[in-house]
Chain A
């Protein structure tokens, strides 16, 4: 008989269960299978009631994030062979309320993402008409924010963040990194508008630089660094305000 592997999966049915349980499934072990392949096999062949999110299967859509043995990962990007022959424990991303099985509620993140205004904001009087063409940018200007623009909103960084898990009022890694992505864009004028939220206590100041958000990021966005750099620039703002209170306040 071919080799098999065991997956221990978090199950929670909102209409039947008060408490989650773990259910163990035995799946074929294939060298080229990722964990998502094994979960798809369970759904198709063993238990159609298992619920989870997935889409692209190639690490760009950011929807298949799960806790794999306690570590947030994209389940389409981790191979079974890296765990074989041990049992793999699969849970929904930490820090979010669970809706059903591996599906967690992402409303909080979506709200925060909107609040951070992750888009280019121009000063009203500096908006040029469409027929004047694009706002040009040098490669050097692009390089300043490009790494932060790689975020796929997979929320692994939130699941890695103990500060967010302890208190979900914290804005969290991805949203702040995306705020910084636009703050550092030479075409953007929206920093002051974002700063109200970023420089608040719930913004950057709750972060204790655990650094795991950056360690688990599948796109090397380095949100931890983005947050620390926002602390530096917000501190400079603060001292400017205190030392030259009559200066540049609009």
Chain B
């Protein structure tokens, strides 16, 4: 039986799932509730502050890059199997290409954008 390459996708899925579980809820609360409803002082997302933070620290840039890209692979793997589970197994190769391809494309686009800061 052929050796499976699933471990690479599964480990990206797991890492992305952990990052998403740990970090996304608080970010959504910030951008979806705290900032729009003015529940925090001094407009914390103002351009100067965020741009400076990102452009001056490779570490912050790297963390945000990971927070954006790893969950894309989490989605790719989970959504791929969701589609298979609802009976699309006959086109599973195409599904894999679209899902992982999407996550890889997102990662490349993210890399290009991040290099511009």
CB < 8 Å neighbour of A200 from B1, B10, B82, B84: B1
Whether A163 is near chain B, meaning CB under 8 Å from some CB there, is yes
A/B pair count, beta carbons within 8 Å: 39
A136-187 with Cβ < 8 A to chain B: 162-163, 166-167
B66-117 with Cβ < 8 A to chain A: 81-82, 84-85, 87, 89
Instruction: Report the separation of the CA atoms of residues A205 and B1 in the bound assembly, to the nearest whole angstrom.
Output: 13
1/0 per residue A206-250: CB within 8 Å of B? 001000000000000000000000010011011100000000000
Q: Is the CB of A199 within 8 A of B4?
A: yes
Q: Is the CB of B87 within 8 A of A166?
A: yes
Instruction: Report the separation of the CA atoms of residues A203 and B7 in the bound assembly, to the nearest whole angstrom.
Output: 12
Whether B8 is near chain A, meaning CB under 8 Å from some CB there, is yes
Q: Is the CB of B89 within 8 A of A200?
A: no
| Known contacts A163-B85, A166-B85, A208-B81; A234/B2 CB under 8 A | no
Q: Which residues of B contact A167 (CB under 8 A)?
A: 89
Whether A26 is near chain B, meaning CB under 8 Å from some CB there, is no
Q: Is the CB of B8 within 8 A of A197?
A: no
Q: Which residues of A contact B10 (CB under 8 A)?
A: 205, 231, 235
Whether A201 is near chain B, meaning CB under 8 Å from some CB there, is yes
Q: Which residues of B contact A163 (CB under 8 A)?
A: 85
B12-48 with Cβ < 8 A to chain A: none
Q: Which residues of B contact A234 (CB under 8 A)?
A: 7
Q: Is the CB of A162 within 8 A of B89?
A: no
Whether B49 is near chain A, meaning CB under 8 Å from some CB there, is no
Q: Is the CB of A199 within 8 A of B3?
A: yes
Whether A47 is near chain B, meaning CB under 8 Å from some CB there, is no
| Known contacts A205-B10, A235-B10; A162/B4 CB under 8 A | no
Q: Is the CB of A208 within 8 A of B85?
A: yes
Q: Which residues of B contact A166 (CB under 8 A)?
A: 84-85, 87, 89
| Known contacts A205-B10, A235-B7, A235-B11; A200/B85 CB under 8 A | no
Q: Which residues of B contact A201 (CB under 8 A)?
A: 1-2, 4, 6
Give 19 A-B pairs besides A163-B85, A196-B1, A201-B6 with Cβ atoms closer than 8 angstroms: A162-B85, A166-B85, A166-B89, A197-B1, A199-B3, A199-B4, A200-B4, A201-B1, A201-B4, A202-B1, A203-B4, A205-B4, A208-B81, A208-B82, A234-B7, A235-B11, A238-B7, A239-B7, A239-B11
